[in-house]
Structure 1
Amino acid sequence: MKRILSCIICILLTIQVPFVVFADDDAEKSKIKAKSVILMATDTKDVLYKENELEHLSPASVTKIMSILLCLEALDSGKIKLTDKVTASKNAVAMGGSQIWLEEGEIMTVDELLKAVVIASANDACTALGEHIAGSDVAFVKMMNDKVKELGLKNTNFENCTGLDDTTKAHYSCAYDLAVISSEVMKYDLIKDYSTIWLDSLRGGKTELNNTNKLVKSYKGITGLKTGTTSNAGFCVSATASRDGLNLVAVVLGSDTSEHRFQTAEYLLDKGFAEYSCKKIKIDKNKLIPVKVNNGKQKSIIPSFSDTQNIVLPKDNSKLKYDFKIKKEVKAPVKKGDSIGKVKVICNGKTVKVIPLYADRDVDKVNFMYIFLNIIKYI
Structure 2
Amino acid sequence: MVRKVKKESLEIFIFVTFLLIAVITASVYKFIITPENQHIFKIEPDSTVSISPDKLNSPNVILIRLKDHAILMQKNSEEKIYPASLTKIMTAIVAIENLPNLKEEIRLTNSTFQRLYEADASMTGFQPGEKVSAIDLLYGALLPSGAESCIGLANQIAGSEQGFVKMMNQKAADLGMDNTHFENVTGIHNENHYTTVENLAVLLSYALQNDTFRDIFTSSRHSTQPTNKHPDGITFYSTMFEELDNQNIIDGEILGGKTGYTDEVGLCLASLAKVGRQEYILISAGAKGDHHSEQYNITDALAVYNSMGK
Residues 268, 58 of structure 1: alpha-carbon distance in 2 compared, 3 angstrom cutoff: same
Does residue 223 (structure 1) correspond to residue 255 (structure 2)? The answer is yes
Match of 1:252 among 261, 265, 284: 284
Letter in 2 for 1:255: A
CA RMSD of aligned residues (A): 2.6
* Aligned pairs (5 A) from 1:44-83: 44-74=68-98, 79-83=99-103
Letter in 2 for 1:115: Y
Residues 62, 108 of structure 1: alpha-carbon distance in 2 compared, 3 angstrom cutoff: same
- Distance in 2 of aligned mates of 1:132 and 1:41: 35
Task: Show CA shifts across 1:131-159 (max 9, x none).
Answer: 22222211110111111111111111111
Letter in 1 for 2:97: E
Task: Show CA shifts across 1:101-120 (max 9, x none).
Answer: 43332100011111111110
- Distance in 2 of aligned mates of 1:73 and 1:223: 23
Deviation at 1:81, TM superposition (A): 1.5
Task: Show CA shifts across 1:49-101 (max 9, x none).
Answer: 10000111111101111111112322xxxx42121110112343232411124
Match of 2:129 among 90, 97, 105: 105
3-state SS in 2 of match to 1:116: helix
* Aligned pairs (5 A) from 1:1-379: 28-29=52-53, 31-74=55-98, 79-94=99-114, 95-96=116-117, 97-165=121-189, 168-202=190-224, 203-205=230-232, 207-214=234-241, 215=244, 217-219=246-248, 220-257=252-289, 258-272=294-308, 274=309
Residues 189, 270 of structure 1: alpha-carbon distance in 2 compared, 3 angstrom cutoff: farther
Deviation at 1:256, TM superposition (A): 0.9
Letter in 2 for 1:90: N
Task: Show CA shifts across 1:342-373 (max 9, x none).
Answer: xxxxxxxxxxxxxxxxxxxxxxxxxxxxxxxx
Higher strand share: 1
Q: Which runs of 5+ in 2 are unaligned?
A: 1-45, 225-229
- Distance in 2 of aligned mates of 1:147 and 1:196: 22
Higher helix share: 2
Larger Rg: 1
- Distance in 2 of aligned mates of 1:229 and 1:178: 15
Letter in 2 for 1:194: I
Q: Give yes or no for contact 1:216–1:223 (8 Å, CA) kept in 2.
A: no
Task: Show CA shifts across 1:209-240 (max 9, x none).
Answer: 12100348433432222110111110100011
Residues 218, 91 of structure 1: alpha-carbon distance in 2 compared, 3 angstrom cutoff: farther
Deviation at 1:204, TM superposition (A): 4.9
Q: Among all aligned residue pairs of Structure 1 and Structure 2, give the percentage whose two residues are the same amino acid.
A: 27
The two structures have a TM-score, normalised by structure 1, of 0.60
Task: Show CA shifts across 1:166-220 (max 9, x none).
Answer: xx22111111001110111111222343233323344355644121003484334
- Distance in 2 of aligned mates of 1:239 and 1:151: 19
3-state SS in 2 of match to 1:171: coil
Q: Which runs of 5+ in 1 are unaligned?
A: 1-20, 276-379
3-state SS in 1 of match to 2:239: coil
Deviation at 1:245, TM superposition (A): 4.1
Deviation at 1:244, TM superposition (A): 4.5
Q: Give yes or no for contact 2:53–2:61 (8 Å, CA) kept in 1.
A: no
Residues 127, 43 of structure 1: alpha-carbon distance in 2 compared, 3 angstrom cutoff: farther
Letter in 1 for 2:297: R
Deviation at 1:36, TM superposition (A): 0.3
Q: Give yes or no for contact 1:34–1:252 (8 Å, CA) kept in 2.
A: yes
Letter in 1 for 2:76: N
The two structures have a TM-score, normalised by structure 2, of 0.72
- Distance in 2 of aligned mates of 1:183 and 1:217: 25
Q: Give yes or no for contact 2:105–2:134 (8 Å, CA) kept in 1.
A: yes
Letter in 2 for 1:38: I
Q: Give yes or no for contact 2:219–2:256 (8 Å, CA) kept in 1.
A: no
Q: Give yes or no for contact 1:43–1:183 (8 Å, CA) kept in 2.
A: no
